[in-house]
């Protein structure tokens, strides 16, 4: 117990080192459990990973608290250590203070800085203004076997004014599936997503872009899933990057050699923010 | 480096998401490592593996099928196992193979590649991952430990080895050594109840210490990954331009895997969407990523010497590249028309 830390931190006793390490572990636990408990975790992790994160947060809390509460107790590792050999079950290569700072500052600052969403610049880098190519989606196309129009009507809810409710992901990836385009093209469709300015091929200013994020595991691996909204006139005033429900007729025109998913909009209204962005692997 | 408000927001989101995803797996690994440290008698792994050095490495490459551990969790486990006498070649083979040659990764790869020759991709990934891992293991088993391990870890192992030769005592009835020439202020009573309580505390302390050691490197790796991740798109345009080049595509996707630092249990879902790229380029992505990426470079530094990590990284990169190019040249169209 009287051993002092020799590696990296010459003046800290093992008890203080344990307390510092426990605090670092407890901070991680607190941040993970806070994001889970507050529901904000849905913006960060796919559903499969959320219970794992919660279990991890609880495990860290147990580990940190256990070690904090027993920091002053002596413990016998139960096996032999040679004369002069340093008892290295707790000794580290780095100063405990440096470890504490490196473990806590980035997490603390990130928890303070995050707004649970990417900026427009990063969204653009994550594919907001990219169009899917037909050859890019063999896997995803195979996940949606070409249905008949009747099957589509049976498997999609209809709004009171007769629009079939589609997820944006289905519309986006239909661009890579000729058979699906033939079925969906011309159908009255309602979908929802976030609306932003259309920056590509919009000479008349009649277009906007609708997107959601596609997340496989965590938001860092997410990609934007966009389609084009064609209003045929000046688009209505809707909150930039706000959630909207749009209805209209789906088309897949080829423009400048690229096939695009374009919804010719007849109705667009602001919508409630959904509890999470459910574009996950399905 | 100056960060404006948008950049801070983007960094924080990517950083926390990767951290939330990886922290539980590191905790799992460090809990296992902490309990191994205190409860596993030195030399146990030696007894478990075949006596023949080469055969032991070959078996170690398959241990992931029995003990499936992802690449984040494996590093602290390996650190302890090496300290407990697991031969270095076996440890490296297990460390590199386990994130790939395990049932969870196999299932996710097979699932992600439905419609894209899933059996060929899954089998190819397992086989190439295994071959590289045991190849590295066999080479490392012929290299002096000090050229591979961090100095502090090598010192610790040598001290233990020296001490065990000096005492040369048989293990006691409870399966571990009890100190008879102890020089610490431990309680040496043979009361197992008291000893169990005491050892649990020691195991939890060891686990916490391992978590902090690995957590520091993980934090640095995740921070760098998040910086790359939020600025990855210019690279994506560059990557797309390389997709049709059979030589450049595997190298480009390995570079992408290195930067993205994805978990081996989920990276197949990303690879499956890179349809512009050849089968072999995706295979390179799936084999190289779990062995070497930005966060692993930092995690490995808690066990291995930097020079060795660099040599291993370049060698593995070159080997996978050669295999991928050769495969695409001679057999690629046989697997995926």
Q: Flag whether the pTM goes above 0.80.
A: no
Which of A82, A111, A140 terminates a domain? The answer is A111
Cβ contacts of A82 on chain B, cutoff 8 Å:
159-160, 162-163, 166-167
Query: Are residue A155 and residue A254 in the same domain, yes or no?
Result: yes
What is chain B's mean pLDDT, rounded?
Answer: 79
Cβ contacts of A93 on chain B, cutoff 8 Å:
150, 152, 213, 302
H-type alpha helices, A70-192: 96-113, 120-125, 138-143, 149-155, 168-174, 178-184
* For range B113-128, the mean pLDDT: 86
pLDDT in the model for residue B302: 83
Asked whether residue A5 is domain-assigned, the answer is no
Query: Which region among A125-134, A177-186, A230-239, B166-175 has the lowest average model confidence (pLDDT)?
Result: B166-175
Asked whether residue A178 is domain-assigned, the answer is yes
Q: Give the distance from residue B38's alpha carbon to the nearest chain A alpha carbon, in angstroms.
A: 6
Structural domains of chain A, count? 2
**Pair of tokens at residue A233:** 């006139």
H-type alpha helices, chain B: 5-39, 44-48, 53-60, 71-83, 88-97, 103-112, 118-140, 151-167, 192-229, 233-242, 248-260, 267-271, 279-291, 294-300, 306-330, 332-335
A186: phi > 0 → left, psi -120 to 50 → alpha, else beta; which?
A: left
Which of A77, A111, A145 terminates a domain? The answer is A111
Query: Are residue A130 and residue A166 in the same domain, yes or no?
Result: yes
The single residue listed with the structure tokens 């959320």 is A50
Query: Are residue A217 and residue A179 in the same domain, yes or no?
Result: yes
**Pair of tokens at residue A76:** 């016998």
Asked whether residue A7 is domain-assigned, the answer is no
Rounded to whole angstroms, the Cα distance separating A166 from A140 reads 16
pLDDT in the model for residue A135: 44
pLDDT in the model for residue A6: 44
Cβ contacts of B177 on chain A, cutoff 8 Å:
79-80
Rounded to whole angstroms, the Cα distance separating B107 from B264 reads 11
Query: Which region among A10-24, A25-39, A128-142, B117-131 has the lowest average model confidence (pLDDT)?
Result: A128-142
pLDDT in the model for residue B28: 83
* For range A11-37, the mean pLDDT: 92
CA B140 to chain centre: 15
CATH of the domain at A251: 2.40.50.140
> Binning pLDDT at 50, 70 and 90, where does residue A81 land?
low
* For range B273-286, the mean pLDDT: 82
pLDDT in the model for residue B45: 67
Interchain pair A75, B201: CB under 8 A: yes
Percent of chain A with pLDDT over 70: 81
Query: Are residue A24 and residue A143 in the same domain, yes or no?
Result: no
pLDDT in the model for residue A86: 46
Query: Which region among A81-90, A203-212, B285-294 has the lowest average model confidence (pLDDT)?
Result: A81-90
Which of A67, A86, A111 terminates a domain? The answer is A111
Asked whether residue A282 is domain-assigned, the answer is no
**Pair of tokens at residue B28:** 């799992």
pLDDT in the model for residue B309: 95
For residue A224, pLDDT beyond 80:
yes
pLDDT in the model for residue A276: 64
**Pair of tokens at residue A207:** 């277009």
Strands A164-165 and A207-214: unpaired
Query: Are residue A183 and residue A247 in the same domain, yes or no?
Result: yes
- Interface-testing mutation among A37, A72, A122, with chain B (most B C-beta atoms within 10 A): A122
Query: Are residue A66 and residue A181 in the same domain, yes or no?
Result: no
Asked whether residue A260 is domain-assigned, the answer is yes
CA-nearest of B91, B90, B82 to B53 is: B90
**Pair of tokens at residue B165:** 């030769």
Cβ contacts of A113 on chain B, cutoff 8 Å:
8-9, 11-12
Burial of A167 (0-12, 13-18, 19+ CB in 10 A): middle
Helix axes A14-37, A49-69, angle to 10 degrees: 150
Highest mean pLDDT among A5-19, A101-115, B65-79: A101-115
Q: Is B297 helix (H, G, I), strand (E, B) or coil?
A: helix
Interchain pair A139, B270: CB under 8 A: no
Query: Are residue A138 and residue A262 in the same domain, yes or no?
Result: yes
Task: Please tell me which of the candidates A21, A35, A79 has its beta carbon nearest to residue B177.
Answer: A79
Angle B64-B70-B74 from CA coordinates, rounded to 5°: 80
Query: Are residue A92 and residue A143 in the same domain, yes or no?
Result: no
The pair phi, psi for residue A83, each rounded to 5°, is -65, 130
Task: Please tell me which of the candidates B14, B27, B37 has its beta carbon nearest to residue A59.
Answer: B27
For residue A125, pLDDT beyond 90:
no
Burial of B238 (0-12, 13-18, 19+ CB in 10 A): exposed
The pair phi, psi for residue B236, each rounded to 5°, is -65, -40
For residue B191, pLDDT beyond 70:
no
* For range B129-141, the mean pLDDT: 95
CB A81 within 8 A of CB B184: yes
The residue among B42 and B213 whose pLDDT is bigger is: B213
**Pair of tokens at residue A57:** 């947060």
For residue B150, pLDDT beyond 90:
no
pLDDT in the model for residue A248: 95
Rounded to whole angstroms, the Cα distance separating B337 from B117 reads 10
Interchain pair B195, A78: CB under 8 A: yes
Strands A262-270 and A207-214: unpaired
- Interface-testing mutation among B8, B17, B191, B239, with chain A (most A C-beta atoms within 10 A): B17
What is the residue range of A147's domain? 120-270
pLDDT digits (tens, 9 = 90+) for B221-257: 788 778 877 764 455 566 667 877 888 999 988 988 8
Percent of chain B with pLDDT over 90: 27
pLDDT in the model for residue B179: 42
Burial of B84 (0-12, 13-18, 19+ CB in 10 A): buried
Cβ contacts of B110 on chain A, cutoff 8 Å:
none
B186: phi > 0 → left, psi -120 to 50 → alpha, else beta; which?
A: beta
| C-alpha dist (Å) from residue B99 to B25, B166, B267 | 12, 38, 11
> Binning pLDDT at 50, 70 and 90, where does residue A91 land?
low
What is chain A's mean pLDDT, rounded?
Answer: 82
CB A156 within 8 A of CB A241: no
Interchain pair A21, B276: CB under 8 A: no
Interchain pair A92, B184: CB under 8 A: no
Task: Please tell me which of the candidates A74, A103, A110 has its beta carbon nearest to residue B16.
Answer: A110
pLDDT in the model for residue B32: 81
For residue B261, pLDDT beyond 80:
no
Task: Please tell me which of the candidates A67, A103, A117 has its beta carbon nearest to residue B204.
Answer: A67
Q: State ipTM.
A: 0.84
The residue among B213 and B194 whose pLDDT is bigger is: B213
Query: Are residue A79 and residue A205 in the same domain, yes or no?
Result: no
Query: Are residue A245 and residue A155 in the same domain, yes or no?
Result: yes
Cβ contacts of B222 on chain A, cutoff 8 Å:
106
CA-nearest of B38, B212, B76, B81 to A60 is: B212
Angle A136-A140-A141 from CA coordinates, rounded to 5°: 85
Query: Are residue A138 and residue A46 in the same domain, yes or no?
Result: no
Query: Are residue A227 and residue A201 in the same domain, yes or no?
Result: yes
Task: Please tell me which of the candidates A7, A110, A281 has its beta carbon nearest to residue B12.
Answer: A110
For residue B288, pLDDT beyond 50:
yes
> Binning pLDDT at 50, 70 and 90, where does residue B289 land?
very high
Asked whether residue A126 is domain-assigned, the answer is yes
């Amino acid at each position: 117990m009287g051993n002092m830390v020799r590696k990296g931190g010459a003046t800290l006793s093992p008890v203080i080192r344990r307390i510092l390490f426990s605090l670092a572990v407890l901070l991680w636990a607190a941040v993970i459990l806070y994001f889970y408990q507050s529901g904000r975790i849905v913006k960060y992790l796919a559903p499969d990973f959320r219970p794992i994160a919660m279990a991890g947060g609880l495990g860290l809390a147990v580990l940190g608290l256990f070690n904090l509460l027993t920091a002053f107790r002596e413990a016998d590792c139960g096996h032999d250590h040679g004369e002069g050999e340093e008892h290295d079950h707790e000794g580290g290569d780095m100063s405990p203070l440096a470890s504490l700072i490196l473990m806590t500052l980035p997490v603390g600052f990130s928890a303070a800085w995050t707004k649970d969403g990417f900026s427009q610049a990063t969204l653009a880098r994550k594919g907001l203004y990219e169009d899917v190519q037909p050859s890019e989606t063999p896997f995803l196309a195979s996940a949606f076997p070409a249905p008949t129009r009747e099957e589509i009507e049976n498997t999609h809810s209809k709004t009171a004014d007769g629009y079939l409710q589609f997820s944006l992901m289905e519309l986006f990836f239909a661009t890579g599936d000729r058979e699906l385009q033939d079925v969906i093209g011309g159908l009255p469709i309602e979908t929802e997503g976030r609306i932003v300015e259309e920056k590509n091929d919009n000479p008349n200013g009649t277009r906007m872009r609708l997107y959601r994020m596609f997340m496989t595991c965590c938001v860092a691996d997410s990609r934007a899933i966009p389609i084009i909204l064609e209003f045929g006139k000046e688009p209505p005033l809707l909150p930039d990057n706000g959630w909207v429900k749009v209805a209209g007729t789906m088309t897949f025109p080829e423009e400048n050699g690229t096939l695009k998913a374009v919804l010719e909009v007849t109705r667009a209204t602001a919508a409630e923010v959904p509890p999470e962005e459910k574009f996950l692997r399905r | 480096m100056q960060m404006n408000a948008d950049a801070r927001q983007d960094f924080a989101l990517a950083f926390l998401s990767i951290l939330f995803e990886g922290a539980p797996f590191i905790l799992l690994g460090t809990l296992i490592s902490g309990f191994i440290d205190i409860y596993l008698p030195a030399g146990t792994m030696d007894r478990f593996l075949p006596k023949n050095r080469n055969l032991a490495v070959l078996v170690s490459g398959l241990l992931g099928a029995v003990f499936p551990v992802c690449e984040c969790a494996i590093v602290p486990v390996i650190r302890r196992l090496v300290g407990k006498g697991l031969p270095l070649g076996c440890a490296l083979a297990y460390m590199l193979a386990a994130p790939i040659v395990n049932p969870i990764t196999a299932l996710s790869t097979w699932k992600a590649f439905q419609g894209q020759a899933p059996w060929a991709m899954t089998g190819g990934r397992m086989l190439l991952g295994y071959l590289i891992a045991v190849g590295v293991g066999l080479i490392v088993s012929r290299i002096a430990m000090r050229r591979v391990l961090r100095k502090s870890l090598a010192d610790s192992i040598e001290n233990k080895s020296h001490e065990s030769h000096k005492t040369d005592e048989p293990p006691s009835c409870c399966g571990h050594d009890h100190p008879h020439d102890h020089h610490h202020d431990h309680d040496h009573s043979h009361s197992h109840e008291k000893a169990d309580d005491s050892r649990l505390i020691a195991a939890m302390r060891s686990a916490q210490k391992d978590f902090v050691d690995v957590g520091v490197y993980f934090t640095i790796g995740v921070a760098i990954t998040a910086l790359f991740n939020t600025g990855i798109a210019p690279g994506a345009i560059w990557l797309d331009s390389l997709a049709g080049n059979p030589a450049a595509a595997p190298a480009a996707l390995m570079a992408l895997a290195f930067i993205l630092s994805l978990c081996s249990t989920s990276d197949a879902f990303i690879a499956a969407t890179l349809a512009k790229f050849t089968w072999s380029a995706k295979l390179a992505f799936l084999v190289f990523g779990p062995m070497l990426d930005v966060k692993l470079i930092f995690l490995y530094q808690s066990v291995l010497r930097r020079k060795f990590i660099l040599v291993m990284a370049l060698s593995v990169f070159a080997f996978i590249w050669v295999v991928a190019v050769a495969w695409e040249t001679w057999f690629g169209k046989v697997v995926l028309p």
